[in-house]
Chain A
């Protein structure tokens, strides 16, 4: 399964860098990143995304975005009509670490995508005294 992270600003870049701080440097080709900047148009982002999806053709694709209703999510959502991929929004560090820790052969099918999303959700909890 190919992984692509698209976020506002440079969150995607630094999310990956931070994950590497925890589990060590990753193979460069394992995860692709698209940063979305204020000056980028929706069309530019769409183009970048399509190019990246085309590179992955024939493989399962998981796209992670940061914000439900944000432009990276919206652009990916609209492409679900033409291309086949899984889309998770609300990407966080626990989710990303899980992806990086899974073996390549384990990263396949809907179940594993659900598990990745669950890990992200479970990473959020309240602790207080």
Chain B
């Protein structure tokens, strides 16, 4: 498997992803995983625009992502997977995919969520999802940008 970085980021490809993470990790392929985004033409166009030069982009539904990963589509690449929501990562793991470590770097605030840090706003469902991932052996950490400190998510919520 050549997926080197798994991230949850509601903003998908933006400055931190396009400039900071992808460069520092030597990423050559970004996979955006979310059902609605994969069907949205405008968002697709924007993501193509936002992808840094020299980096390949794939936008797929959760189901398609599971197939691609199982088919070893990313072998030989340095791939970063970006989920829009924590629940997208849960569905991947439920689909039998093994995620060693998941970066929570863009769980943004919306109505009904509690703000734990700048890019860490969670509701009860999110916390349940995180606990599920933790039980499945996924290392969960909070880190917005690569130059920020990596913090275990258990610092903020009991997993």
Contact = CB atoms under 8 A, between A and B. Distances in A.
A69 interface: yes
Contacts, number: 47
Contacts of B18: 67-70
B11 A69 contact: no
Interface residues of B, number: 21
B8 to A, nearest CB: 15
Contacts of B108: 41-42
A58 to B, nearest CB: 25
A13 B22 CA distance: 28
B42 A69 contact: no
Contact of B118 (A39, A43, A81): A39
Nearest to A38: B118
Contact of A69 (B43, B52, B119): B52
B15 A81 contact: no
Interface in A75-96: 77-78, 81
Given A41-B108, A69-B51, 5 more contacts: A42-B11, A73-B50, A74-B11, A78-B42, A81-B42
